Amino acid sequence: MLAVFVCGAALLTLPRTFLPPFNEGTLTISLLLQPGTSLDESNRIGQTAEQLLLQIAEVSHVGRRTGRAELDEHAEGVHSSELDVDLKPGRPRAQLLADIRARLALLPVGVGIGQPISHRMDHLLSGVRAQIALKLFGPDTDTLTMLAANLQASLSDIDGLTDLQTEKQTRIPQLQVRVDSARAAAYGVTPARINQMLETVLGGRVINQLSDDNRRFDLVLRLNDPQRDADTLAELLVETPQGKIPLRRVAEVIEADGPNQIGRENGQRRIVVSANTAGRAQDRVVAEIQARLARLNLPPGYSIRIEGQFQAQQHAMRLIAMLAGISVVLIFLILYQRYRSVALSLIVMGNLPLALIGGVAGLWLAQAPLSVASLVGFITLTGIASRNGILKLSHYLNLARQHGLQFSDELIVRGALERMTPVLMTASVAALALVPLLLAADAPGKEILHPVAVVIFGGLISSTLLDAFITPLLFKLFGQRPLDKLLAAASSQSF
Distance CA 364, CA 337 (A): 37
Per the CB < 8 A criterion, the answer to whether 116 and 293 are in contact is no
**For the chain, first and last CA: distance in Å?**
44
pLDDT at 495 exceeding the cut of 50: no
Angstrom distance (rounded) from CA 141 to CA 349: 58
Res 493 pLDDT > 80: no
Distance, in Å, from the CA atom of 102 to the CA atom of 384, rounded to the nearest integer, reads 47
CA angle (283, 85, 63) in 5-degree steps: 135
| pTM over the 0.75 mark | no
Give mean pLDDT, residues 430-451. Answer: 79
Q: Summarize pLDDT for 193-241 with one digit per residue, the tens.
A: 888 888 888 878 888 888 877 788 888 888 887 777 888 888 888 888 8
In this prediction, residues 275-282 reach a mean pLDDT of 80
Q: What is the DSSP letter of 199?
A: I
CA distance 476 to 344: 11
- Mean pLDDT (the chain) is 82
- pLDDT surpassing 80 at residue 455: yes
Distance of alpha carbon 128 from alpha carbon 136, whole angstroms? 13
Cβ neighbours for 20, distance < 8 A, ≥ 6 positions apart = 368, 369, 371, 373, 447, 448, 450, 451
Task: Report, as an integer, the average pLDDT of 33-54.
Answer: 87
Residue 429 has pLDDT above 80, yes or no: yes
**75: pLDDT confidence band, cut at 50, 70 and 90?**
low
The amino acid at residue 467 is D
56 with 100: CB under 8 angstroms?
yes
pLDDT tens per residue, range 243-258: 888 888 888 888 877 7
What is the pLDDT confidence band of residue 486, given thresholds at 50, 70 and 90? confident
CA distance 216 to 212: 6
**Phi (first) and psi of residue 209, to 5 degrees:** -130, 145
pLDDT tens digit sequence for 354-398: 888 888 888 888 877 888 888 888 888 877 778 878 888 888 888
Distance CA 357, CA 385 (A): 12
Q: How many CB atoms lie within 10 A of CB 313?
A: 22
Query: Which pLDDT score, from 0 to 100, does residue 278 have?
Result: 80
Please, what is the Cα angle at 363 between 358 and 369, to 5 degrees?
Answer: 150
Band of the pLDDT at 48, cuts 50, 70, 90?
A: very high
Better-scored residue on pLDDT, 372 or 86: 86
